[in-house]
A and B are shown apart, each in its own frame.
Chain A
Amino acid sequence: MTALVSHLKLLEAESIHIFREAAAQFRSPVLLYSIGKDSTVLLHLARKAFWPAKPPFPLLHIDTTWKFRDMIAFRDKTAREFGLDLIVHTNHDGLARGINPFDHPPSVYTDIMKTQALKAALDAGGFDAAFGGARRDEEASRAKERVFSFRAAGHRWEPRRQRPEMWNLLNGRLGKGETVRVFPLSNWTEGDVWRYIALEKLDVVPLYFAAERPVVRRGDQLIMVDDERIKLEAGERPEMRQIRFRTLGCWPLTAAVESDASDIDAVVKETLRAKISERAGRLIDHDQAGAMEMKKREGYF
């Protein structure tokens, strides 16, 4: 097992450079904080980038109202602890229409409660740049993503219109109607994120560590029962299993893995040995062929 950590400081410096370039060039940035491990690293790097000052931008969380309860508690604690402004945005119109992950297909639910909500929140805040924790190792279409990912009016991602990026010279001059998504973790892998969390002793949502939790099995996915809104199918009964999560999203759409990794060292070990790619637990990516690319074109992260 490799315990390679010597490259983490190089990745850290690269990310700090990106944070500063964006903060210096954009009028009104915001950090998209989705509470997971990548957001944890992202926020930590943001704090480092502007130290001893605070990051000069607020956090934005798109709350679908279906996040794990542990996530919401962690979010509020984090914002309080670091004294950061936190904007929480929910698509109340979608909520009123009863859009939910049980009755609607993942693509519809994600579009309305996440993509549309994100676009509305960015527009409402007048933000011209949004930091996100996306990494190039996550998925095929993200492997070609830029560090400064330009979005045309309406937040549309046009893969063919992205700017070439040479050396570490990041050109943030916006054209008319353009906004940008900034990805400081572009060159990190899932293994790097965990090793960095271990190295820097960062606090993460407890759901990443194995514990006995109530789950139901659907197909080959284990879904945790986080509250009473779950719609149990005939004959389905929650059972207690030793599980954890590799990725955190809306609980009905995020599958757990059976694991005994109950502390950070065990999680790092397990991640580096993992045989199943990280996003396999995300049900929304598999909805249709090229699913992530389509979502990105429409303005998803």
Chain B
Amino acid sequence: MYVAALREEIAVSSSPETRAQSGAMVHLLTCGSVDDGKSTLIGRLLWDAAAVAEDQRAAVMHASQNRMVNGDKIDFSLLLDGLQAEREQGITIDIAWRYFETADRRFVIIDAPGHEQYTRNMATGASHADVAILLVDARHGVKRQTRRHAAICDLLGIKNVVLAVNKMDLIDWSEARFRAIEADFRTMAASFGFTDIAAIPVAALPGDNVMRRSAATSWYNGPTLLDHLESIDVTGEVASAPFRMPVQLVVRDADFRGYAGTVASGRIRPGDRIVDARSGLGAVVRGITTMDGDLASARKGDAVVLELDTDLDISRGAVLAEVLRRPTNADVLEARLVWLAETPFDPEAGYLLRTGTDLTPVTSMSISALVDFETLASEPAHACAVNDIADCRILLGRPAALDLFADLPATGSFVLVNAVDGATVAGGIVTWAQAGASTVGDNVFVLDQELLARGLCADLGDSPADLAEFHRRAQEAAILLRSVGIPVLIEI
């Protein structure tokens, strides 16, 4: 694995200029419910950062008077509710995207609903976020829901969290209460992988400590919410991360031939040696082509075209990688996923695994456990449905170049696609991957229904639970056989 190699390498610190560049845009996920004052907080941020135009301000002032939600106060949530059905029901059911900027930073607010039945929306939003603002009501403190939100953020790899303790004005700006909530949260968050946690006492409706420093919190020396967001470091990537670039398409023009893609991690320069992770074929980068001229180097996030010294005969789906630290050419993987579709998981349905730019048929898939994100307890299970978070095992019809999400999020994440109607049914992160036998030739060992039913699965009947167990055992057997180098095909 490349992780060991990573440690040996001396971290190359990036120049101040490049850091400023990659931190120029910050994606904020806001977690919390309407009751916690989430819409009000976002509305307040937009309002104070002057991202609200005058005609919108007037419309909101007018509507606030009609609804009388806050007496004579402004109902900031009116700025956010987008779709008609939602306006009528007074709830937010989908992700909404908002934008504002300060002198140095452009912010993207990802506003996802917080109720349990919308776990999928929160997870979807979290996949785009650099920072999560976890909102709690100062009167109620850290709730089970807060833990679920934190767990989802952690699952999707968010490292920076802000605990915004809201409605401080309703508890008379009690420092003791604030400190207790902060301590609760830090204890709870200790099991997660957050690298930066900031707790800030705010009152979103009047705007205290959002942009304007509150006169009521003389005991608080930390930054206001906006100050904190402006200074937070979101670069997130180890300078020496290995190079990865999933190929989106091949660009051809006269005698030009190049591989177009977005650098998923690391850096690349002309003269660097790369391999196609699937075929193992190597080449040297001859040039990095863009319409603005050739580049001396490209790094994570850059959309480029690589020209190579030899024609690798590869196409969309290939992952170009550093030679020494390559992705796993996996045909079996374990993952933790969020089920997004209304239709539950069905082991008989045809699924496709979308990683990077690759689309690989899933040969078989089984659920092993469901995770309760409020208690963080894991229960063995075979089924999973909308908003569930589950651990699963996936066998692929052919190998796909993958990394572990914990190492390289961009090439260690995937979505699962229903092969028939094209729907995106789940999103997941790779927690374990194994390279399979490289080719399936004549020597492939076939694990078929009869063979399994005769022995390993002789105790199982026809119930759905038994059938799921049948699949699970078949996969386990296949994995064990593959791990000792025997190519296996499951035919059940």
Q: Is A108 part of the contact surface with B, judged by Cβ < 8 Å?
A: no
Main secondary structure of the interface of B (DSSP, over half): mixed
* Interchain CB contact (< 8 A) of A173 among B87, B105, B121, B352: B352
B427 touches A164 (CB 8 A): yes
**B445 CB–A CB distance under 8 Å:** no
Q: Which residue of the partner chain, among B53, B85, B97, contacts A275 with CB atoms under 8 Å?
A: B53
A166 to chain B, nearest CB (A): 4
Among residues 293 to 321 in chain B, which have CB atoms less than 8 Å away from a CB atom of chain A? 301-303, 305, 316
Instruction: Provide a sorted-by-A list of 25 A–B residue pairs whose CB atoms are within 8 angstroms.
Output: A4-B101, A4-B104, A7-B106, A9-B21, A11-B25, A20-B248, A24-B316, A52-B289, A53-B251, A53-B253, A144-B96, A162-B94, A164-B121, A164-B124, A165-B424, A167-B128, A169-B413, A169-B414, A171-B417, A173-B422, A175-B422, A175-B423, A276-B53, A277-B56, A280-B55
Shortest CB-to-CB span from B245 to chain A, Å, is 11
8 more CB-based (< 8 A) A-B contacts, given A51-B305, A176-B421:
A7-B25, A12-B303, A13-B301, A53-B252, A159-B94, A165-B124, A173-B417, A280-B53
Partner of B422, one of A10, A17, A140, A174: A174
C-alpha gap A273/B383 in the complex (Å): 54
B3 touches A (CB below 8 Å): no
Closest chain A residue to B340 by CB distance?
A164
- Report B-chain residues with C-beta under 8 Å of the C-beta of A160: 85
* Closest CB pairs A-B (n = 4): A277-B53, A173-B422, A16-B303, A6-B24
B251 and A50 contact, CB distance less than 8 A: yes
Q: Does A21 contact B (CB under 8 A)?
A: yes
Kindly report which residue of chain A lies nearest to residue B410, judged by CB atoms: A167
Q: Which residues 55-109 of B sit at the A interface, judged by CB distance below 8 A?
A: 55-56, 80-85, 87, 94-99, 101-106, 108
| B305 to A, closest residue via Cβ | A51
The answer for the CA separation of A275 and B56 in the assembled complex, in Å, is 9
A174 CA to B262 CA in the complex, in Å? 24
With A164-B124, A166-B413, A174-B422 known as contacts, the answer to whether A144 contacts B53 (CB < 8 A) is no
CB distance from B241 to the nearest CB of A (A): 16
B103 touches A189 (CB 8 A): no
Is residue A137 contacting chain B, with contact meaning CB distance below 8 A? yes
Q: A75 to B420, alpha carbons, bound, how many Å?
A: 40
Quick check: is B365 within 8 A (CB to CB) of the other chain?
no
Q: Does A23 contact B (CB under 8 A)?
A: yes
CA distance A186 to B108 in the complex (A): 11
The answer to whether B99 touches A166, judged by C-beta atoms less than 8 angstroms apart, is no
A187 to B100, CA, bound (A): 11
Tell me whether B83 and A293 are in contact (CB under 8 A): yes
A238 to B403, CA, bound (A): 66
A89-107 vs B, CB cutoff 8 Å, 1 = contact: the mask equals 0000000000000000000
* A interface, CB within 8 angstroms of B: 2, 4, 6-7, 9-14, 16-17, 20-21, 23-24, 47-54, 136-137, 140-144, 159-160, 162-169, 171, 173-176, 178, 186-187, 189, 191-192, 274-278, 280, 290, 293
Which residue of B has the minimal Cβ distance to A273? B50
- Complex: how many Å from CA A76 to CA B393? 55
Answer yes or no: B54 CB below 8 A from chain A CBs.
yes
Give bound CA distance, A6 to B16, whole Å: 13
Q: Is B458 in the interface zone, CB < 8 Å from A?
A: no
Q: Which of B97, B256, B262, B417 contacts A136 (CB 8 A)?
A: B97
Find out whether the CB atom of A2 lies under 8 angstroms from the CB atom of B55.
no
Asked whether B424 lies within 8 Å of A164 as measured between CB atoms, the reply is yes
Q: How far is the CB of A34 from chain B (nearest CB, A)?
A: 22
Q: How far is B96's CA from A219's CA once the two chains are assembled, in angstroms?
A: 33
Interface pair A141/B82, CB less than 8 Å apart: yes
- A52 adjacent to B427 (CB under 8 Å): no
In the bound complex, do residue A169 and residue B354 qualify as a contact, i.e. CB atoms below 8 Å apart? yes
How many Å lie between the Cα of A9 and that of B290 in the bound state?
13
Given A4-B103, A52-B256, A274-B53: A21 and B96 interface contact (C-beta under 8 Å): no
With an 8 A cutoff between CB atoms, is B357 at the interface? yes
List of A residues within 8 angstroms of B21 by Cβ: 6, 9-10
CB of A173 to closest CB in B, whole Å: 4
Complex contacts, A290 vs chain B, CB 8 Å: 84, 87
Using Cβ atoms and an 8 Å threshold, which residues of chain A touch B354? 169, 171
Closest to A186 in B: B97
Interchain CA distance A192-B99 in the complex, whole Å:
11
Contact among B54, B99, B301, B316 with A10 in the assembled complex (CB-CB below 8 Å):
B301
Q: How far is the CB of B358 from chain A (nearest CB, A)?
A: 10
Q: Does B20 contact A (CB under 8 A)?
A: yes
Could you tell me the distance between the alpha carbons of A163 and B104 in the complex, rounded to whole angstroms? 33
The residue of chain A having its C-beta at the shortest distance from the C-beta of B97 within the complex is A136
Residues of A near B44 (CB, < 8 A) are none
For the complex, is B377 an interface residue (Cβ under 8 Å from A)? no
> Nearest chain A CB to B14's CB is how many angstroms away?
14
Given contacts A6-B21, A136-B97, A163-B424, contact A51 B289 (CB under 8 A): yes
Interface residue? B260 (CB, 8 A): yes
**What residues of B have a CB within 8 angstroms of the CB of A175 in the complex?**
420-423
CB-CB under 8 A from B84, the residues of chain A are 141, 290, 293
- Are B82 and A140 in contact (CB-based, < 8 A)? yes
- Decide: A48 near B53, CB < 8 A? Known: A168-B262, A171-B415: no
* B120 part of interface (Cβ distance < 8 Å): yes
B4 within 8 A of A: no
- Confirm or deny: B123 has a beta carbon within 8 angstroms of a beta carbon on chain A: yes
Report the bound CA distance from A179 to B284 in whole Å.
39
Q: Are A13 and B253 in contact (CB under 8 A)?
A: no
Interface membership of B198, Cβ < 8 A: no
Residue from A14, A23, A48, A164 with most neighbouring chain B CB atoms (10 Å)? A164
Q: Chain B contacts of A163 at CB under 8 A?
A: 423-424
Q: Does B249 sit at the interface, judged by CB under 8 A?
A: yes
Do A166 and B427 touch (CB < 8 A)? yes
Q: Which of A6, A159, A275 contacts B20 (CB 8 A)?
A: A6
